[in-house]
Amino acid sequence: MRHLGKKMILAFGGLLIVLGCAALFLRPDWRYLAVNAMSRSAVRISLSQVEEGAFAMKGYTMEQLLAEGGEQDRSLMLINSRNHIPEDFQPRLIDYNAAGVLMDEAMEEDYEALSQAVQEQFGVSLLIRSSYRTREEQEETITEDGDVAATLDASEHQAGLALDVYVPGYAGRALLKTEAGQWINDNCWQYGFIIRYPYYGVSETGIPYEPWHLRYVGRPHAELMTQNSWTMETYFEELTPGRLWQYENYVITRQADEPFTLPADWTSVTVSPDNQGGYVFTVTLTE
């Protein structure tokens, strides 16, 4: 009888394992996460420090840089529980498709391209559940959904830099049950977006996994973060202030004090406040 009892326990344990494996592969969202977790470390992108003398350099004041064709945006503002939105912050918003959906002007074209790609590949519309929120609207969101809503002035929605997206019939975590949602999670970086709160970054962001929350950071930053499995917090740790880093035809640097030292030969420069007292410069080099 004792041996029979052990056999029954082993058989029951084996059945549980089989059922668990079956559930894993029957649920598309669980299957996606399992495959993603196994494969995400396969590709890493090198961000190389620029050696002294590699480029001819030039000093710029902000005024000089903008006068020579540099552009400003807010795409690389680090916003979290330790880096709140400044009290005097004024978002730069557009009304997307004149539909009452307000978002930062820097992301308009890239979001349109992402939306079109989803429509063309999957035949479904990519919809926006939440975009820009005023401070008062964020307070209401905290009251209604305080378990998952970011604290006041720590929400990227207040800066207009975040979008909560869905497809018809599938919102929130259910987005991952769709091929479109899985594709968005894997490929939004190609359009300058990241999954701001990935499942592997909870200890760094302090926010549980939100596969629906897209944050605009622009290129090449979205690619670097996604392909290296970096959260935005980790990315800023990599970008040591004062140093210059190169990826492909880009030079990236964080600096705080004028004159800002940048490569002299460039086709474009975008500068964003980092919300930590400095700026991130994204320099596209002249080929």
Q: Which residues are catalytic?
A: 210
Per the DSSP assignment, residues forming a β-bridge with 246 are: 48, 251
Amino acid identity for residue 121 in this structure: Q
Cis ω before 28 (30° cut-off from 0) = no
In terms of Cα–Cα distance, which of 162, 240, 158, 241 is closest to 194?
162
Contact 131, 101 (CB under 8 A): yes
Q: Residue 171 is encoded by which pair of tokens?
A: 């919102």
Amino acid identity for residue 253 in this structure: T
Contact partners, residue 40, CB within 8 Å, separation at least 6: 200, 229
In terms of Cα–Cα distance, which of 283, 240, 234 is closest to 262?
283
Per the DSSP assignment, residues forming a β-bridge with 163 are: 214
Buried-exposed string 237-272: b where 16+ CB fall within 10 A, e elsewhere = eebebeebbbeeebbbbbbeeeebbbbeebeebbbb
